[in-house]
Each structure stands twice: as C-alpha cells, then as structure tokens.
Amino acid sequence: MISLAGVNLQLHGFALQDINLKIDNGDYFILVGPSASGKTLLLETIAGLHNVTSGKIWIDGRDITSLESEKRNIGMVYQDCALFPHLTVRDNIVFGLVIRGKKPAVINRELKRIVQLLNIGYLLDRRPHNLSGGEKQKVALARALVTNPELLLLDEPLGALDPQTRETVRQEINKLHQELGITILHVTHDFEEAVTLGTRIAVIGEGSIKQAGLPDEIFHHPNSRFVAYFTMAVNVFPGAAERENDNKTFFIVENTRFETEESITGACYAAIRPENILLSNTFPVNNGQGFFTGVITGIINRGSIINIIVDLPPTLVCLLTRNAFEQMNLTVGQQVYLTVPPSSVYLFTD
Amino acid sequence: MEDNGQIKNNWLSKIFKHSFTFLFIILGFLILLFILVPLFKMVFLSDKEAMWLALLDSETIQAVWLSIYAALIATAIGFVLGVPLAYLFARYEFPGKNIFEGLIDLPIVVPHSAAGIALLFVFGSNFIVGKGFKLFGIQFVDSLAGIIIAMLFVSVPILISSAKESFRKVDVRLEKVARTLGASPWQTFFRISFPLAWRSILAGSLMMWARGMSEFGAVIILTYHPTTAPVLIYERFETFGLAQAIPVAAIMIIISAVVFIGVQTLLRWRKNYD
C-alpha cells in the first residue's frame, strides 16, 4: 500500500497542501484535475524528485519520505514519454537494469520478457525519433516496467495521442495492469479517462485533494462545486434545502423547487448532471415525478450530442443525442418540459 | 519606346516590391565586406615568402605554439570549473542567480587591459592569492601561469554560456526519468545530460580556446615574456613595422578560421536524434 499523510510542498510559488492518500496494492488509482492543479508535482514528489516540506510517504509500511529517487523503485512515464533520444529503443528499455549493474544474462531475460509482453520486438534497434506516438508510449512503459517497480506513475500517458492511438494505448495499459497486477497511479485532466480506467479516483485542484473515492461515488456525489464542475455536472446553483413535513427534501433556487434524495438542509449548492434531466416537447404523462416548464434559450451543437439550454428559471443545460434532437425538431424559444429525478439533485455546502 | 517603358516600370516595381529584402542585402553585404576584406587581404595578398620565413622562424613558432597550448590549458581548466557552473545555472534556482549569470559575462565587456590589471591585483606576488600560489612555486607575472589565467579570465564566459544553453535544451524530464530508473545524480549527468549537451559544450570549448589564443590586452599586462603570438604581432609591428607583423598575424587568422569552421561544422552536423 502507498500512503501519503499530510504531505505539504512549496516549489516555485506553487504549493501542495495537506495531501492524504491511500492507494492499495493492485489499485488503478487515478488522480484527476485541471491544468496547474499540482498533479504532476504530486507524482514527482511520490517519485522522490522533490523533497516534501512536511508529511510522510510510505510504501508497504516503509517510510520513503527521505529516500532518494533512485532507491524508491517507482517507475514513471511522462506524457511525451521522455525517451532518451541518444539511445536506441533497446538501450532505453534496459537503462534501469544496466544502471543497477545487472548481469547481461539477466538484462537479456528481462528485456525479452517485457518486449514480448508489449509486443515491441520490432522496435528494438530504432531511435526514439523514428517511433509513432503509440510506439513511444509502449517503449516508455517497457522501460518503466522492466525493473519491476512497486508503483507505476503515469503522467497523462494518453494526453498527446490521437483518439485511435489513445484507445489502443488505453487498452494496453489496462491489460498490463491486469496481467502484472501492478499498482498504478495515473494522472489525467480527463474525467472520462479517469472513470474508464480507475478503480479509485482522487480529484485534485489548487494543490489539494478535493475528493477521493470510487468512480461512481465521485460521479454521483460530488462534494463541492469544484468537483461538480470538473465531473461535468455543469448545472450548479447556490440556494437552500428544506425538509418538508412528509420528510421530502427540496432544493430551492429562484423559486423553483427541485426534490432531492440528499439529507442536507439550509444554505447549500446543488449540482444536476445534464444527462440526468429528461427533456420532452410534449406534456409529460404523469409518472409520479414533478416536471418543470421552461423555454429553450440556446442550442449548442457538439457533434454526436446536443446541449439544450432551458430557462425555467434557473437556466439548465440539458443533453440530447443528435438522433433524439433531430426527431424532436426543437428550436430556440420553444416551450419544453423537464423532469429532474430526485436522485439526480446532489447537494453540498462547499 | 512603350515596350522599354513597360520593362523599366517592371524593374522599378520589382525593386520597390522587394525593397525590404534588397536594402537588407545591401546593408548585410557592406558589413560582410568590412569583416572579410581585411582578413582575406592579409591571408591571401601578404608576401608568401615572408609567411614561409615566419613559419620557419623559431620565435614565431614558439609564440604560436605557446598561444595554442596555453589556451588549451586555459580551456581545460575552464571546462572542469565552468561546465558544473553552467549546469547549476541551467538547472537550479537560487537567490541572486540572475546577477551571477550577468557577472559571469562581465570579462567579455570590460577592457581586457583592465581585466589584466584586475588579475594582477589578485594574483600578483604582493597579494594574498599570488602569495599563496607562490608557496607552491607558481607565479603569475611573466610566466605561463599568468598567460593561462589571463586567457581563462577573458574567454571562460564563452564556454559557460554555451554549456548553460545546451544544458537548458536538455529536457529536465529525461534526467528525472533516469533518476526513477535507478541512476544517481552522477550517473544521470554522465549518461544523460552530458551526452545530450556535449556538442554545444565542445563548440563552446573550441570558441573559448580560439578566443583565449588570440587574447592580447590581459596577457600583456601579466606576461610580456614568454611571448604569445598576439604579443609578438604587436612587438613586431611596433619595432619593425607592418611588413614584419603581417605574416604572424596571417598565421593566427588562418588558425582562427580553421577553428571557427570546425565549430560551425560541429554545430551544423545534424544530430541523428534531432
């Protein structure tokens, strides 16, 4: 298990603040956050490339806080792979073994193992500048894995790849995780990537962990406006929650009352995911849920999906597939009916 | 008449259209002539017989050879002391870094005679550093050591700047990855940073060597004898006139040109991992 307790770090005017994380062995842990949120800095700190100001880092109970990077046995892969340009692919991969003074027989055995695992035998004599983006990622993974690290750190490994290659590399990393059972800490700014790959997720912003948990927990129960926006629950409102006599809780904003399953009361914020709002251009058949009448004020074409902006008030962003949108023949100014399931109204106070 | 007028108009309009490029070419050509004509004239139009005689003259040979190897020793010292400093400048942030970086370049802009006097003030046998070295039998006035420190002082900023820029071009993440793969800071420097920066460092070393070899102002303040080639050129010019100074000067220009072409070739030599 990798544990971070109260880790603080100041570097070039940027600070990591009170980072507490627990990553179980075999986890595929995703650290997700926007640009300049401190993701890479945290990764490099775990790798031993920066000294913490305070706090502790452990691997399997071993305190590695003051241990030099080269003694931590942690593999690292950067977004642009950072392959050594003056070395061949073979020399890149075996670098860690050569540095550790392994015997040629061991080097060859380990090289063969990792090359077979990643199916990159045909690349061995090439130089990094002759590789495609996907090939570079595989070589960088092979280089990091050949020394059998206790933890693999991936810094936006899919970020610089085209969509097709990204999918291939994503599958490759997933396969490696399952076959090797290695603990992975993967950093990304893409929440979709986080949900797809991660067994556990932590959202980081402005140098601190905002929320950590299972992907579903974070997706359905963001604990703050920051996490809500970041997880694409774009309808976030300030308002107040009230419990009524029948024990139902309502979130009230601009005189509109959204029923919720949350138990918070008083001043708070609510987040509603666009995909959870049911939009209809015909008067809804009574299904036991309340509905709201609004007017379309905007239509944003996003390719395969369409965002419909509806003013109740408040103004809500809804989501339709292109097919549904074309069948409904919606236009700006048209009256529509929205149903917001109580389970989709998340409340938080931060 | 009408056709001629048309042609003339075309020429004028072309010149006007390309006036920017045209003017810059003329201005650039003028400065090229200014630099190259004196150098080429001295090398190609000087008395060949006098040049051969100069090449066979033991005083000239000694002076040129002294310039070459004193500059080589100065470059070696500059390399050992300057490359680590360049790496520190390229990789670390520390208070006063900008000031130190600026100060390092100071020897390039101060009058070199002033640099010589400043060195004399520290390394002269009446001063503490000079006294300290004297205990080990090293003196800096009228000695090889004096020539070396004068050359080192005025030319080491070239090597430091070149090394600093080339280390800055090495992606710091390559070094970070090497560390995570088990390399110590020493191994990382010698296996990653230096192999990726060596080309510019070598070019900087060659430039430093060439600059040190041609140093006159600082050298003559510390050491008139033994005589380096630039001092010999000056001495011959003062004592015998232009005709006696030209052959030695021509030899120095040829050596400098060879070094310069070497540096350019080195820098343009396409790296196979670019």
3 state SS for A112-130: HHHHHHHCCHHHCCCCHHH
Sequence letter at residue A66? S
Percent of chain B with pLDDT over 90: 49
CA A71 to chain centre: 29
Q: Note the pLDDT tens digit of each residue in A217-247.
A: 888 888 888 998 888 888 898 988 888 877 8
pLDDT at B12 over 80: no
Chain A residue whose CA is closest to B197 = A86
Strand order in A2-11's β-sheet?
A14-23, A2-11, A54-59, A62-63
Q: B270 touching A, CB under 8 A?
A: no
Cα pseudo-dihedral A289, A290, A294, A298, rounded to 10 = -30
| Residue A21 CB-density burial (10 A; 0-12 exposed, 13-18 middle, 19+ buried) | buried
Asked if pLDDT for residue B273 goes beyond 70, the answer is no
Tens-place pLDDT, residues A250-266: 888 888 888 888 888 88
Percentage with pLDDT > 70 across chain A: 99
pTM greater than the 0.90 cutoff: no
Q: What is the pLDDT of residue B4?
A: 61
Question: Which chain B residues touch A127 with a CB distance below 8 Å?
Answer: 272-273
Predicted local confidence at residue B209, as pLDDT: 93
pLDDT of residue B272: 47
How confident is the model over A13-72, as pLDDT tens digits?
788 999 999 999 999 999 999 888 888 999 999 999 999 999 999 999 899 999 999 999
What is the predicted pLDDT for the residue at B182? 95
Which of A1-10, A173-182, A267-276, B151-160 reaches the highest mean pLDDT?
Answer: B151-160
What's the average model confidence in pLDDT over A206-226? 89
User: What does R_g of chain B's alpha carbons equal in angstroms?
Assistant: 24
Whether residues A75 and B178 touch (CB distance < 8 A) is answered with no
pLDDT, position B164: 96
Closest CA of chain B from A16, distance in Å: 19
- Pairing state between β A278-280 and A335-339: antiparallel
Q: In whole angstroms, what is the distance from residue B252 CA to residue B236 CA?
A: 14
Mean pLDDT of A99-111: 95
- Chain-wide mean pLDDT for chain A? 89
Tokens 């003028």 appear where? B30
Peptide bond into A313 cis (omega under 30): yes
In this prediction, residue A288 carries a pLDDT of 53
Residue A77, SS3? strand
Task: Tell which wins on pLDDT, B260 or B233.
Answer: B233
Does residue A301 register a pLDDT over 50?
yes
Decide: B192 and B210 in contact? Cβ < 8 Å: no
pLDDT given at position B29: 95
Q: Give the model's pLDDT for residue A289.
A: 62
Lowest pLDDT segment from A171-185, A218-232, A248-262, B258-272: B258-272
Residue of A41, A49, A114, A141 best to disrupt the B interface, most CBs of B under 10 A: A49
Model pLDDT for residues B165-179, shown as the tens digit of each residue? 999 999 999 999 999
Asked if residue B146 has pLDDT above 60, the reply is yes
Q: Which residue of B has its CA nearest to A151?
A: B180
Whether pLDDT at A270 is above 80? yes
Q: How far apart are CA A47 and CA A346, in angstroms?
A: 36
A338-342, B142-146, B224-228, B266-270: range with lowest mean pLDDT: B266-270
Q: Give the DSSP letter of residue B137.
A: T
Does residue A332 register a pLDDT over 60? yes
Looking at the complex, report in whole angstroms how far the Cα of residue B183 sits from the nearest Cα belonging to chain A. 6
Cβ atoms of A111 and A102 within 8 Å: the answer is no
Q: How confident is the model at residue B6 (pLDDT cuts 50, 70, 90)?
A: low
**Amino acid B7: pLDDT:** 65
> Is cis: bond before B226, omega within 30 of 0?
yes
Structure confidence at residue B14 (pLDDT): 78
Residues paired with A326 in a beta bridge: none
The Cα B125–Cα B252 span in angstroms is 32
Place of tokens 């550790």: A100
Task: Give buried/exposed letters for A235-247 (b at 16+ CB in 10 A, else e).
Answer: bbbebebeeeeee
- Give every CB contact of residue B138 below 8 A, 6+ residues apart in sequence: B145
pLDDT at residue B1 is higher than 50: no
Residue B270 has pLDDT above 60, yes or no: no
Across A132-136, B13-17, B169-173, least confident range: B13-17
Looking at beta carbons, which residues of chain A come within 8 Å of B273? 85-86, 127-129
Closest CA to A224 of A238, A214, A240: A238
Mean pLDDT of B25-30: 94
Q: Within 13 A of B67's CA, how many CA atoms are on the CB side?
A: 30
Q: Please give the structure tokens belonging to residue B150.
A: 């004068």
- Determine phi and psi for A272, rounding to 5 degrees: -130, 125
Å from A185 to nearest chain B CA? 15
Is the pLDDT reported for residue B243 higher than 90?
A: no
**DSSP per-residue codes, A282-330:** SPPP--SS--EEEEEEEEEE-SSEEEEEEESSSEEEEEEEHHHHHHHT-
User: pLDDT by residue (tens digit) across B39-64?
Assistant: 888 888 777 787 788 778 888 889 99
pLDDT at A286: 62
Asked if B84 and B250 count as a contact pair (C-beta separation under 8 A), the reply is: no
The dihedral through the CA atoms of B188, B192, B195, B199 has a sign that is negative
Put simply, the answer to whether A44 touches B176 (Cβ < 8 Å) is yes
Confidence of residue B274 (pLDDT cuts 50, 70, 90): very low
The owner of tokens 């400093």 is B85
Q: Return residues 176-235 of B near A (CB < 8 Å).
A: 176-184, 187, 191-192, 195-196
The pLDDT assigned to B138 comes to 87
